[in-house]
Amino acid sequence: MTPSFLSGLNDAQLEAVTLPQQSALILAGAGSGKTRVLTTRMAWLIQTGQVSPMSLLAVTFTNKAAKEMLTRLSAMLPINTRGMWVGTFHGLCNRMLRAHYREAGLPQLFQILDTQDQLALIKRLMKSMNLDEERYPPRQAQWFIAAQKEEGKRAEKVEPYDDFSRRMAEFYAEYDRQCQREGVVDFAELLLHSYELLARNDALREHYAGRFRHILVDEFQDTNRLQYRWLQLLAGQHNAIFAVGDDDQSIYGWRGASTANMQDLQRDFQIEKVIKLEQNYRSHGNILDAANALIAHNRRRLGKSLWTADAKGEPLRVFEAATDFEEAACVVDEVRSLRAEGARLADIAVLYRSNAQSRVIEHALFTAGMPYRVYGGLRFFERQEIKHALAYLRLVANQEDDGALLRIINFPTRGIGNRSLEQLQGVAKEAGISLWAAACANTLSGKAASSIAAFVKLIEAMRSATAGLPLPEVIEHVVEHSGLKAHYRNEKEGADRIENLDELVNAAAVFVDERATQLPAGGALPGIMNDAGGEALPEHMDELTAFLAHAALEAGEHQAAAGADALQLMTVHSAKGLEFHAVFITGLEEGLFPHENSMTEADGIEEERRLMYVALTRARRRLYLLLAQSRMLHGQTRYNVPSRFFQELPEALLSRVNHVRQAPGYAHARQLPPSYGAARGAARAVSMVPSLPRDFPWRIGQAVTHAKFGAGVIVNAEGGGADARVQVNFRDAGLKWLMLEYARLTAA
């Protein structure tokens, strides 16, 4: 009798679920029902008596996915799933090490260090070894150790290539010894220790190989090399690995994920046939056709083509906005239309490649009174790096701000510990003065005293240097000289934080423009006075104080409450695994998506294309592609070339709604929507454009093509007559200055 849980499977799904005991690679496209296939395979193996629930191993990448798998399984079969070996790599390795702590050489109650605990241990160890944290940043040591462990290397196996890596290898060895002394393990150690345990203990390895005759792996494309080797040990010579994954959705190369594991699996486990799940149950046909056309440009892929029995649906809607503010306004207007059609906000997603992009979108939603939620992250003004920067600015504006001082006096680290802070607070409390006043008096001794004196000097220098500067330049100066940027440059994922700090400068520039039309004659906003009362603060301090108030308001308002209907904002990386009725993909410009960092990496553009593929396949019914011809970056307007991905999408699948065609003089004539203050936006755009003679043949912002360099946008121009030249930002060749007499440019 055929089990009821097999009903409804398509032919490819049924073939995968009912495979005999053999290793298999299931190439599961987006929306093709991979979770159903995995759980149904587990149910089928148990129902047919091929394996008991306790003799089956299933690996997922998140605890949420593991719980969902067990919930579905218990709905198919009347079994108790408690105790089953279903979980993440780290969770399963922890379970194995707890059961065999003696053989692993660990204390019975060993503790697991989270990322922050590990960093604290590294800092403590560096201090005891008299290592200079500026020369050997603790976070870099943390990445170095994790990277070596993920490659399966202990300190003695590391091959240094310079003095820094040699010192890091020495520190790695000492770090390992310290962890052993304290009886603790970090996350990477869980997997490495478990791998080493199985590799050196034949009896234990044979025990688990005899127990787990079937090993199932979800999201196989996201496995790293050590995870694959761990699976190989567990599988041994006779066990079957049932791996489900999609090489087209491999977007975590920067975490060590390797699509090469798929090819290795086929070779090492002699897999002759790859089963492809290509029927999509999520998206309309046009969306899938676009995704297929795009990803076909990647050379190193196993190959599949998504299809659906559903309708073709609408074409993809392309909005080419004049500015990033218009882009955000387009999102607001279209979301309103979708709501009018009956769509819930929670079923609409706005995706962006970089976290920093969310600031302009958030501001538009805030202004429009539209509830939203940032998925998998914080709203712009709530992010750690932004709150640190704002604390520096608060202290520059007002030295009596104890909360701001406490947040940044030792960030970045400058040797002022908790004990020194307690002493400083004691002095302030006893004398009835602010912490700043106590810091200026500085009655402490030793290293803490000199560190506090240096901090006071830093704040005073920033206050003096920014006097009279425009607000964006104030923020730019404080962000740079506070040491925040230097600190985040030493973080593995610090690039996003630096982009957010740059976006804070953009936020200030926009705030100044918007505020210009709101100020009464005389320049100061009512209610912002100095300590004496009645007299307005100096103009630059007045602007800064007003901006800080604005930031606090946007940080404290409008994030939708849990469970409320709200628009979903997220990075494309965060969107993986999710689906929505309608999706907006914003910032589709060269250098942003694909990201400029990908241009110099071996697999960079292909991974960016996979990321775009993930973004496209999140949409069920409606998909919007948005780009801005100009975008604020580092407080300056940058003119953009449309993303190369547009050239890889069939034009027949696109509907260019509200398409803005660039023409000579465009940069001077563009208008922003009324909600953003057209006059202010146009004034800013003009101020960023060089003054050119009336008879100059080109205009800033104009799209052009060149016989050798291809498509580009004019971003600067100078001179006249035979000496006239233009600077063009080419999609593939980057920035070039060209003499007009010889350039042979043509309008795009």
* pLDDT on residue 295: 97
Tell me the range of 96-110, 492-506, 519-533 where mean pLDDT is highest: 96-110
Q: What are phi and psi of 302, to 5 degrees?
A: -75, -30
State yes or no: pLDDT of 662 exceeds 70: no
**The pLDDT value given to residue 46:** 94
Handedness of CA 14, 619, 565, 66 (dihedral sign): positive
Question: Which range has the top average pLDDT, 111-115, 278-282, 539-543?
Answer: 278-282
Q: Which of 492 and 530 is assigned the larger pLDDT?
A: 492
* Contact assessment for residue 276 and residue 307, using Cβ atoms and an 8 Å cutoff: no
Mean pLDDT of 506-516: 79
Confidence of residue 532 (pLDDT cuts 50, 70, 90): very low
Catalytic residue among 218, 248, 320, 476: 218
Tell me the per-residue pLDDT of 20-72, one tens digit each, with 9 for 90 and over.
Answer: 988 999 999 999 999 999 999 999 999 999 999 998 999 998 888 888 999 99
**In the prediction, which pLDDT does 735 show?**
75
Residue 534 has what pLDDT?
Answer: 38
Query: 304-308 contacts: CB < 8 A, separation 24 or more?
Result: 304/27, 304/29, 304/248, 304/276, 304/278, 305/278, 306/29, 306/30, 306/31, 306/32, 306/278, 306/279, 306/280, 306/617, 307/278, 307/279, 307/280, 308/279, 308/280, 308/281, 308/283, 308/284
pLDDT of residue 555: 62
Q: Is 35 a catalytic residue?
A: yes
Tell whether the torsion through CA atoms of 698, 700, 702 and 704 is positive or negative.
positive
Q: Which of 60, 142, 223, 249 is an active site residue? A: 249
| pLDDT for res 160 | 86
**Averaged over 608-624, what is the pLDDT?**
97
Query: What's the pLDDT at 207?
Result: 93
Clarify whether 447 is annotated catalytic.
no
The reported pLDDT for the residue numbered 673 is: 33
Q: Is the pLDDT of residue 538 over 80?
A: no
**Confidence band of 684 (pLDDT split at 50, 70, 90):** very low
H-run or E-run covering 46: helix 34-47
Instruction: Determine the pLDDT at residue 589.
Output: 94
Q: Which amino acid is at 469?
A: L
Looking at residue 518, what is its pLDDT? 52
Nearest-5° Cα angle at 555, 564 to 490: 115
Would you state the pLDDT for residue 665?
Answer: 30
pLDDT over 80 (residue 275): yes
* CB environment 104-115: b (16+ within 10 A), e (fewer): bebeeebeebee
Q: Is the peptide bond before 412 cis (omega within 30 degrees of 0)?
A: yes
Q: How far is CA 515 from CA 51, 288, 360, in A?
A: 69, 45, 16
Choose the weakest-confidence range: 83-92, 299-308, 730-739. 730-739
H/E element holding 243?
A: strand 240-245
Give the lowest-confidence range in 81-95, 146-160, 563-577, 633-647: 633-647
pLDDT at position 688 is: 36
Q: Picking from 521-535, 556-570, 648-662, which range would have the lowest pLDDT averaged per residue?
A: 521-535
**Contact by Cβ (8 Å): 275, 24:** yes
Catalytic residue among 186, 219, 476, 499: 219
Rounded to whole angstroms, the Cα distance separating 559 from 366 reads: 9
Angle in degrees, CA 137, 140, 142, rounded to 5: 110
Confidence of residue 556 (pLDDT cuts 50, 70, 90): low
What's residue 692's pLDDT? Answer: 58
Torsion of CA 61, 62, 68, 73, to 10 degrees: 40
Percent of the chain with pLDDT over 70: 88
pLDDT for 214 equals: 93
pLDDT at residue 530 in the model = 39
Q: 678 by DSSP, 3-state: which? A: helix
Residue 674 has pLDDT above 50, yes or no: no
Closest CA to 623 of 652, 682, 580: 580
Between 511 and 673, the more confident residue is 511
Averaged pLDDT, 393-418: 87
Q: Is the peptide bond before 690 cis (omega within 30 degrees of 0)?
A: no
Tokens read off for 30: 């987006």
Average pLDDT, the chain: 84
pLDDT at 517: 57
Q: 242, 261, 314: which is closest to 283 by C-alpha?
A: 314
150-164, 208-222, 542-556: segment of lowest average pLDDT: 542-556
Q: What is the mean pLDDT of residues 281-292?
A: 97
Of the candidates 34, 36, 41, 359, the residue annotated as catalytic is: 34
Beta strand pairing call for 703-706 and 746-747: antiparallel
Question: What's the pLDDT tens digit per position in 365-374?
Answer: 988 989 999 8
Confidence grade of residue 229 (pLDDT, cut at 50, 70, 90): very high
Q: Quick check: 466 pLDDT over 50?
A: yes
The predicted model gives 604-618 an average pLDDT of 95
Type of residue found at 392 = Y
pLDDT of residue 245: 94
* pLDDT of 561: 60
Asked whether the predicted pLDDT for residue 277 surpasses 80, the reply is: yes
Least confident of 228-242, 479-493, 554-568: 554-568
Catalytic residue among 276, 618, 631, 644: 618
Q: Contact 129/270 with Cβ under 8 angstroms?
A: no
Highest mean pLDDT: which of 89-103, 411-425, 506-520?
89-103
310 is catalytic: no
Confidence of residue 232 (pLDDT cuts 50, 70, 90): very high
Residue 234: which of 353, 80, 123, 89 has the closest Cα?
89
- Residue 216: closest CA among 347, 66, 431: 66
d(CA 485, CA 463) in angstroms, rounded, equals: 18
Residue 139: band (very low, low, confident or very high) from pLDDT cuts 50, 70, 90: confident
How does residue 699 score in pLDDT terms, banded at 50, 70 and 90?
confident
Q: Is 218 a catalytic residue?
A: yes
Which pLDDT score, from 0 to 100, does residue 189 have?
Answer: 94
